[in-house]
Amino acid sequence: MFSLDKYQSNHYITIMEIRQNKLTGEWIIISPERGKRPGDFKKKGIEDKKIPEYDKDCPFCDGNEKYLIHPFIMETQGVNENPWQTRVLLNKYPALTPEKDVSRSKKGIYLTMPAYGHHEVIIDHPKHNMCIGLMQEEEIRAVIETYWRRYTKLMEDERNLMVIIFQNHGVQAGTSLVHPHSQLIATGIVPSHLRVREEESLRYFDDFGRCVMCDILNYENKNRERMLFENDSFLSFIPFAAEVPFEIWIVPRKHNASFGDICEEERDKLASIFRKVMHLLYERLNDPDYNYMILSATRYAAFEPHIHWYLRIRPRLTTQAGFEIGSGISINPSLPEENAEFLRSELNR
């Protein structure tokens, strides 16, 4: 039986340092003395959660289409007994709308533009009580395929400078509906933090002539201290400067700036490793609240040699306080190497 006693060793208790995220240049404070042992991050009360397979009031459940005000944009064929597997529709309460345009204007000294964009909801599964961590690989394959098809479709419109795909799971992550679903937002602007990431990667490429993420991959593949799963196309690991406990990256081995450029075989391999990672988090942390997002190149950067797309998973196990909000510096109260060892222990049972 795996024991957490080893994590009480002086080695782990005394480690406090500031680590740099090589991808962004940001500094992260690693301070295990402020936090808990890995097992203490487990979400409490999972055994009390009794979510039905079907909810008569849920607009995303099969048979409740009468509650929807928008038609489906696309639907994928069901796996096994499922009547369908994924569905896509416009968000009922969109943050942005394609009816607007991308023109800028001035209001006094301030700059403004219409709220142009696309905001779509992806229903990940027909069953109300399902989640990514419990889906079969074929079901997750349909989710990944849906992500890819909508991403590539929206990037055909030159007004869309950025497409971000994400999922909010659990109250702490900001979800408003229990039914498993993801979201996609396309915008005519690029947020400054993504520009900074691209500029930091370009600076690294200019200095060393290599992609920074490729160097991270090579190091993590050799070091293996934070590694979780791998296959021919992807590696999954806890980053050296993880911002939060149990943050996980899934990164393609092949250098590619855009998620939209992955082939069918790579989409299959992504579904396989994604399933393993999410199932592991479900089992070891008792279905934690989390956000995950696909971070891909913005328009006009899709073929750049310094940008590398990846999938980032951020469990919501801690809450930001005043210092983090005020300074912009994250404090991770756990050690990435310790978190990886804790997750891997499930694989060795």
Q: What are the boundaries of each domain within the chain?
A: 5-47+191-347, 68-187
Give this prediction's pTM: 0.90
pLDDT at 14: 55
Positions of the chain with pLDDT lower than 70, given as ranges: 1-15, 33-41, 43-49, 348-349
Paired strand residues for 164: 185
Q: Are 143 and 122 in contact (CB under 8 A)?
A: yes
pLDDT at 342: 95
Integer-rounded Cα radius of gyration of the chain: 21
pLDDT at 266: 98
CATH fold for the domain made of 5-47+191-347: HIT family, subunit A (3.30.428)
Query: Do the domains spanning 5-47+191-347 and 68-187 agree at the CATH topology level?
Result: yes
Nearest Cα to 61, choosing from 69, 70, 52? 52
The contacts of residue 12 (CB under 8 Å, 6+ apart) are 32, 335, 338
Nearest Cα to 165, choosing from 139, 185, 180, 140? 185
pLDDT at 49: 61
pLDDT at 11: 47
- Reading the block at residue 297, the tokens are 């190149």
- Reading the block at residue 335, the tokens are 């050690």
Helix axes 137-154, 264-284, angle to 10 degrees: 120
CATH number assigned to the domain with residue range 68-187, chosen from the 4 options 3.30.930.10, 3.40.710.10, 3.90.1560.10, 3.30.428.10: 3.30.428.10
Q: Are 62 and 78 in contact (CB under 8 A)?
A: no
pLDDT at 8: 41
Q: Which amino acid is at 310?
A: Y
